[in-house]
Amino acid sequence: MKLTVLGSGTSVPHPKRSSPGFWLETSAGTILLDCSASAVHRMAQENLDWANLDAIWISHFHLDHCGGLAPFLFGTKHAPETQPRTKPMRVFGAAGLRGLVQKFSEANSYDLFKQPFPLEIFEVERLEKFEILSGVEAVASSTLHTAESHAIHLRERETTFVYTSDTGYDPTLAALARRVDLLLMECSFVKDKPVKIHLELPEAIRLIRRAEPKRTILTHLYPQWDAVNFQQEVTKLLPGREVLEAVDGLRISFPE
Ligand SMILES: [Zn+2]
Ligand SMILES: [Zn+2]
């Protein structure tokens, strides 16, 4: 698998960190993990084949994770690149996803379901196994963030990946991410987090120690991170383990 970070930030406007979006290449096709408004253009900036994107995973309904769905689907209706497309585009997320896209669509008769290609929406249940792409098995697990928020575990043959998206501290995340090849975890704050529903670095480190992923990327970084040296902070708490700072444009292939 190969991951490209489209947006390492949050909903807060930031000069270098755009809102969440991660492009995942598998041998069965491509998946966009979360679709912020900025992710739509970031795909093009990174020269990714957005017109042939196979699947979208929406972790939860906060606008920094799903606010790009409407503009993206508005774009694919009209873009020359998507007119010849016949294969379906599949969008996966929690119960309520279809209603949300419907509301976006009806907000001004955008008709977002009328595409040159079939648009298929799948609402998944917590802990239900599903194939997000042919041969790529997925399991979603609830997180301590919103009623509908999910982390997702993906497996293609021997390769495993977890994306936590937004979450508070929950040891079950470590079970979900046990020994995965790549753990993409939120770490909104360095310390003294102002809310329960996000992680701060000492909590993220605790989860890494329990989960023992081969590699970790920390993302969803609030501007609090701008004031510190990422590697120094991480090494202080967890020497000798590979933990990467998500930056927009970071590309990583795994396992390796
Ligand atoms: Zn968020
Ligand atoms: Zn959120």
Give average pLDDT by consecutive 10-residue segment, the chain, 256 residues.
98 98 98 98 98 98 98 98 98 98 97 98 95 98 98 98 98 98 98 97 98 98 97 95 96 94
pTM of model > 0.95: yes
Cα of 42 to ligand 2 centre, how many Å? 20
The answer to whether 254 touches 3, Cβ cutoff 8 Å, is yes
Residues with CB under 5 A from ligand 1 (ion): 64, 166
- Nearest Cα residue to 19 out of 41, 2, 3, 1: 41
Cα of 79 to ligand 2 centre, how many Å? 30
Cα of 168 to ligand 1 centre, how many Å? 12
Among all ligands shown, which has an atom nearest to the Cα of 195? Answer: 2
Cα of 166 to ligand 2 centre, how many Å? 5
Task: Tell me the per-residue pLDDT of 117-148, one tens digit each, with 9 for 90 and over.
Answer: 999 999 999 999 999 999 999 999 999 999 99
Q: Give whole-number Cα distances, 56 to 20, 88, 93, 202, in Å.
A: 13, 11, 8, 31
Instruction: Say if strands 29-33 and 55-57 run parallel, antiparallel, or are unpaired.
Output: parallel
Cα of 85 to ligand 2 centre, how many Å? 32
Cα of 116 to ligand 2 centre, how many Å? 31
Q: Which helix (H) or strand (E) holds 141?
A: strand 136-142
| Chain CA centroid to CA 25, Å | 13
- DSSP letter at 65 equals H
φ, ψ for residue 218, nearest 5 deg: -100, 135
Among all ligands shown, which has an atom nearest to the Cα of 34? Answer: 1
Predicted local confidence at residue 124, as pLDDT: 97
Buried b (16+ CB within 10 A) or exposed e, 52-69: ebbbbbbbbbbebbbbbb
Place of tokens 């697990």: 141
Mean pLDDT of the chain: 97
Cα of 145 to ligand 2 centre, how many Å? 7
